[in-house]
Amino acid sequence: MDKNQFATLAIGIKSAYPASKILEDTASKDFWYMLLSDIPYDVAKNAVMEHICTNVFAPNVAEIRKLCMERCKQPVPSFDEAWGVVQKAISKYGLNNAQEAFATMDELTLSVVKNLGWRNLCVSEAGEADRANFRMAYEAKEEAVKKGNQLPDFVAKNKALLKAQYIPAIEVQEESVASQIEQKEPVRDIKEELTPEQLEKQSKRFEEARRRILGGKT
């Protein structure tokens, strides 16, 4: 989508929501264009039209990108669909034909299956518990995939570069602190520092204190 095409969309949004204060200045329009320019014009136009026809409030960038991704990205299977694929693979291929079973799964479903363990899923008799565990793991990853699909390529790539730049540094720092803790000398028992004469004197003082507390009784 070029700038002239985006300008047409901006005019359409402003005309549909005259009370809205979005896209009022050049800086705002330039920023929106930077975040939407990777989307084909016909996709963005159709998404904006859907929003205008179904929402009383003006769209934001996230809403537009979400609608656009529904039109140009492979949809993420629902939990029920993914669990159905897993159950079918278990029934058809079983424990000893894991690779054939894995070939029937999309990347997201396969990652969850591997996390839970193919063998565990195949031999388990706790169907409801397995389903619940799969659902919890799948839906967490599903949300991350959907959010990742909405990102412009330059944002996703920069995110990866920043993680590579900063996360290792944090890990090294944590390892350094842990190493310092491990290298600290253990606290030595006080008794190891006392001579036999000092230990005897200390014992007598304890005995005298005990007698005073007990009123002189032994």
Q: How many CB atoms lie within 10 A of CB 6?
A: 21
Residues 146 and 208 in one domain: no
Residues 91 and 41 in one domain: no
Tokens 């000092």, located at residue = 198
Structure tokens at 200: 């005897």
Specify the number of domains making up the chain.
4
Whether residue 73 contacts residue 107, with contact meaning beta carbons closer than 8 Å, is answered with no
Residues 111 and 98 in one domain: yes
Structure tokens at 38: 């990777």
Residues 60 and 9 in one domain: yes
Q: What is the pLDDT of residues 14-40, one digit of tens each?
A: 999 999 989 999 999 999 999 999 999
Whether residue 138 contacts residue 116, with contact meaning beta carbons closer than 8 Å, is answered with no
pLDDT at 187 over 50: no
Residues 62 and 15 in one domain: yes
Residue 173: the pLDDT is 55
Give the mean model confidence (pLDDT) for residues 162-191. Answer: 60
Residues 64 and 95 in one domain: no
Rounded CA-CA distance 40/5 in Å is 10
- What is the residue range of 26's domain? 3-72
Residues 11 and 50 in one domain: yes
Could you give the maximum distance between any two Cα atoms of the chain, in Å? 102
Residues 100 and 58 in one domain: no
Residue 74: the pLDDT is 86
Rounded CA-CA distance 13/164 in Å is 38
pLDDT at 184 over 60: no
Instruction: Enter the pTM of the model.
Output: 0.65
Helix (H, G, I), strand (E, B) or coil at 217: coil
Whether residue 59 contacts residue 51, with contact meaning beta carbons closer than 8 Å, is answered with yes
Residues 115 and 145 in one domain: yes
Q: Is the dihedral of CA 39, 37, 23, 158 positive or negative?
A: positive
The b/e string for 164-182 (b: 16+ C-beta within 10 A; e otherwise) is: eeeeeeeeeeeeeeeeeee
Residues 158 and 144 in one domain: no
Rounded CA-CA distance 59/16 in Å is 11
Residues 11 and 55 in one domain: yes
Residues 171 and 214 in one domain: no
Among 59-63, 122-126, 130-134, 200-204, where is mean pLDDT lowest? 200-204
Whether residue 145 contacts residue 112, with contact meaning beta carbons closer than 8 Å, is answered with no
